Structure 1
Amino acid sequence: MMLQKDLVVGRWLTRQELLTAVSIANGFQADIHVRKGTKQVNLKSVLGTYSLFPRMGDAITLMADGADAKEALAMLAPIFSGASLDGSTAEKTGPPHPIQQ
């Protein structure tokens, strides 16, 4: 069953956090994708996820399809919505590194 969760990215994400999200996604059997605007990528792909590089304030949709889809979304949504990896609320001051378009 396909599940989806609409989110607004709640803080600036580092490359390491995106890599962690990819690693977490790869721990699930479900197919997991993230959409920003018209672009959709496989969240299990490092290059795909980096190419999307969601920024603070971006509207995204997490989508999961499979037996463990609900658990996958529950684990991944907090990373994008604003909780830091240690469970605290991270600062929202600006990007941790230059972002080039």
Structure 2
Amino acid sequence: MYKDEMIQLHQFLVYILKYLAENDQIKNDCSEYISLKISPHHIHKTKAEHKHAIFVLCKIIAQVINEKDENSIPDNVCNSLTDLVERSQNYIKMA
């Protein structure tokens, strides 16, 4: 995936998170994403940083959906997203 496509996906996931927040469906904390200090508008950030932000957003959105409708997302999907976040964070630290 090209960097500009990553940024578009990043923006789309931010829109989803904002939609969930506006409808009071967010009960968990989004501090993990906020602490990254990267938004889709930060085009100077690397592709790996945007990828990591995408994984973090996917994990948060999956948690929100799972909290709303319990067991709507299989545990292995949530666990895989957590693993992806950890691996992408380690990759960024090594780079």
TM normalised by structure 2 equals: 0.37
| Greater share of residues in helix | 2
Could you say which structure has the larger radius of gyration? 2
Task: Give the structure, 1 or 2, with the largest relative contact order (CA under 8 Å, sep 6 or more).
Answer: 1
TM normalised by structure 1 equals: 0.35
| Greater share of residues in strand | 1
